[in-house]
Copies of this chain bind each other. A is one copy, B any other.
Amino acid sequence: MIDPGPLWLTLKLASLVTMILLVVGTPLAWWLAMTQSRIKPVIEALTALPLVLPPTVLGFYLLLVMSPNSPLGALWVTMTGTTLTFSFTGLVIASVFYSLPFMVQPLQTTFQSIGKAPLEAAASLRASPFDTFMTVVIPLSRRGFLTAGVLSFAHTIGEFGVVLMVGGNIPDQTRVISIAIYEHVETLNYAQAHILSAGLIAFSFAVLVAVYSINGKGSVRVG
């Protein structure tokens, strides 16, 4: 009765985007947390900007940038032979761009709250900055990563304006669950919309409860 395609595609997209954001956003957040650079406020503002534009509008501009008429889009076509728009890759890129603030901002806050003390302790034990980052900063920022991950993942699932614009709503390729629900609402198939929404909510709720339960374990803090 319900096509599993959109759900599957949605999970794939959200997981991939969250993973890419972890890889891209973590160093950026770390740099922002540590730098003394004058341009820091500018970069911070830039990372928050994708939030300000409505998703559809952002999608509109991404369409302009990614179109084969634009230098970037043209380059992509030359390199890969396909257009960036209407492809899963394009969706991923657009979503990464759009969800970036949700990864960077919470991580930056967490990193700053760690302070210099553990970093110095690690350096005194000959841990290189990268080593320190992997073995000290990341574990100490567990809660921050959780928040950033949940916000990014959930937002990518729910996100839909950008995806709709850039993706072209191609079944099994760019037709995510949010679009499917939207269509049901638009075409007055409210019963279908309710079912899909309930399913999405129940599923997300279960995942979130599991994630938060695991996180709660073993983090007893004694003054």
Where the two chains meet, the residues of A that have a C-beta atom closer than 8 Å to any C-beta of B are 40-42, 44-46, 48-49, 51-58, 60-61, 101-102, 105-106, 108-110, 112-117, 119-120, 143-144, 147, 150-151, 154-155, 157-161, 178-179, 181-182, 185, 193, 197, 200-201, 204-205, 208-209, 211-213, 215-216, 221-223
A201–B178 Cα gap in the complex (Å)?
26
Cβ–Cβ < 8 Å partners of A108 in chain B: 147
Q: Which A-B residue pairs are the 4 nearest by beta carbons?
A: A45-B208, A41-B212, A51-B154, A54-B178
On whether the beta carbons of B51 and A158 are closer than 8 Å, the reply is yes
On whether the beta carbons of B42 and A209 are closer than 8 Å, the reply is yes
On whether the beta carbons of A208 and B158 are closer than 8 Å, the reply is no
The quantity of this chain's copies bound in the complex is 2
The verdict on A160 contacting B54 (CB below 8 Å), with A110-B113, A221-B116 known, is yes
A102–B105 Cα gap in the complex (Å)?
10
Cβ–Cβ < 8 Å partners of A151 in chain B: 48, 51, 101-102, 105
On whether the beta carbons of A49 and B208 are closer than 8 Å, the reply is yes
The verdict on A205 contacting B120 (CB below 8 Å), with A54-B160, A110-B109 known, is no
Q: Identify A57's interface contact among B49, B58, B185, CB under 8 A.
A: B185
On whether the beta carbons of A56 and B110 are closer than 8 Å, the reply is no
A221–B208 Cα gap in the complex (Å)?
35
On whether the beta carbons of B116 and A223 are closer than 8 Å, the reply is yes
A185–B59 Cα gap in the complex (Å)?
11
The verdict on A200 contacting B147 (CB below 8 Å), with A41-B209, A106-B105, A120-B223 known, is no
Distance from A203 Cβ to chain B, minimum over Cβ atoms (Å): 9
A48–B147 Cα gap in the complex (Å)?
9
